Structure 1
Amino acid sequence: MSEVEELTGFKRSYIYGLIRKNKFPQSIAIGARIVGWDANSVLEWIEAQKVSE
Structure 2
Amino acid sequence: MMINQRPSKILRLPEVKDKVGLSRSSIYALMTKGDFPPSVRLGERSVGWFEDKIDQWLLERENKRKNK
Report the TM-score range of the alignment, normalised by the length of the smaller protein.
over 0.9
Residue 10 of structure 1: SS of its match in structure 2?
coil
Q: Which amino acid aligns with 1:7?
A: K
Q: Number of aligned pairs? A: 53
Question: Taking every aligned residue pair, what percent have the same amino acid on both sides?
Answer: 34
| Larger Rg belongs to | 2
Normalised by the length of structure 2, the TM-score is 0.77
- 2:49 counterpart residue number: 37
For residues 4 and 46 of structure 1, the distance between their equivalents in structure 2, rounded to whole angstroms, comes to 11
- Does 1:2 find its partner at 2:9? no
- 1:21 counterpart residue number: 33
For residues 52 and 19 of structure 1, the distance between their equivalents in structure 2, rounded to whole angstroms, comes to 18
Deviation at 1:3, TM superposition (A): 0.5
Q: CA RMSD in A?
A: 0.3
Q: Which amino acid aligns with 2:25?
A: S
Normalised by the length of structure 1, the TM-score is 0.98
The one of 53, 58, 61 equivalent to 1:49 is: 61
Q: Which has the higher helix share?
A: 1
Runs (5+) with no aligned partner, structure 2: 1-12
Q: Which has the higher strand share?
A: 2
